[in-house]
Structure 1
Amino acid sequence: MSDSAITYTLYIQADPSRVWQALTDPAFTRRYWGLSFETDWAVGSAMDWVERGARTSDPAQVVLGCVPDRLLSYTWHTFTPQWAAAVGIGEELRAELARAPRTKVTYEIEPVGDVLARLTVRHEGFEPDGTLIGMCGQAWPRLASSLKTLLETGAPLPEPDGTPPS
């Protein structure tokens, strides 16, 4: 992690097409992330984030790059009052997050042998030492681990309290 970017590389016992499916298929993302993306994944297309009943849409929330089984990139989401209420974030924190510059997430998927994929997640464009990079820096390890666990075992990581992801 730098002062303006987060990068994680993990190895997953799954082929690149399965990793791609886990990143793009709403049935998968709901299981390990607790949200889904509504988009056609074409470059320039809008992405709606649907989390805990809240739909987050914004014209600047778009797909930046898409090469199936290899690369996916998009702008990080918009912090609306509806999203904040759905996930239990107070208005003061939501407003601070909304003032931060929009960030970008990129996933690179590389095959390693026959049944292993290397997934590199890069989340960049943060305000150095800002609140958002701190929050994302705590969230990405768990999110990436839950994705890996789901693909390798069939079940995502439980929430810290032991319950299944919401």
Structure 2
Amino acid sequence: MGSDTFVYTTYIRTTPDELWKALTEPELTRRYWGVAFETDWTSGAPMVWEEGGRRTADPEQVVLRAEPGRLLSYTWHTFTPAWADAVGLGRDVYERLAAGPRSKATFEIEPSGDTVRLTVTHGDLAADGPVKELIGEGWPALISSLKSLLETGEELPEPPR
């Protein structure tokens, strides 16, 4: 693709406040993502990623911008050997992930009639790196599960690996 940015847009029948909660509240993020964030959601605040009992903290893992119901942006998580083992990535893929630049995820929330337009932008990617490849499949599945949770009360089942 050659670009350092991945963009995905969808429309969800919800409110900006409910979507914000689904992006930030641990009991909801665990349901559709399997991840919870420990942070106070203020610009510059550190973020600890908790996934499957593993906690990942790093000084560069921070909230970049947080405007409830409008915009959320943070640096992407730190890749660790424990994380790579837990998600079934081989050593070579882990080393390529760890060697790449730190990327960032941004969620733009815009009212659109009786729906909300959600645009997810994942930027600062190595154009041909493994993060771009992984999120190209990951974000659409994740956002589909988020949409399902908000519209029906049930997240999508995790696809088989």
TM-score bracket, normalised by the shorter chain, equals over 0.9
- Tell me what 2:79 maps to: 79
Task: Give % identity.
Answer: 56
Q: Give every structure 1 segment of 4 or more consecutive aligned residues whose post-TM-superposition deviation is greater than 4 Å.
A: none
- Tell me what 2:116 maps to: 117
Q: Post-superposition shift, 1:76?
A: 0.5
Give CA deviations for 1:36-78 in whole Å, capped at 9, x if unaligned: 1110001101001111111111000000000000000000010
Contact in 2 for aligned 1:51/1:86 (Cα 8 Å): no
Q: Take 1:93 and 1:31, find their aligned partners in 2: how far apart are those partners?
A: 27
State whether structure 2 residue 144 is matched by structure 1 residue 126.
Answer: no
TM-score (norm 2): 0.95
Q: Post-superposition shift, 1:2?
A: 5.9
**Count of residues in correspondence between the two structures:** 160
**Structure 1: stretches of 5+ with no match in the other structure:** 162-166
**Structure 2: stretches of 5+ with no match in the other structure:** none
Give CA deviations for 1:16-37 in whole Å, capped at 9, x if unaligned: 0000000000011000001111
Superposition RMSD on alpha carbons, in Å?
1.2
User: Where in structure 2 are the equivalents of 1:62-77 lying within 5 Å?
Assistant: 62-77=62-77
Contact in 1 for aligned 2:96/2:129 (Cα 8 Å): no
TM-score (norm 1): 0.92
Q: Take 2:42 and 2:152, find their aligned partners in 1: how far apart are those partners?
A: 30
- Tell me what 1:136 maps to: 135
Residue 131 of structure 1 aligns to which amino acid in structure 2?
Answer: P
State whether structure 2 residue 156 is matched by structure 1 residue 146.
Answer: no
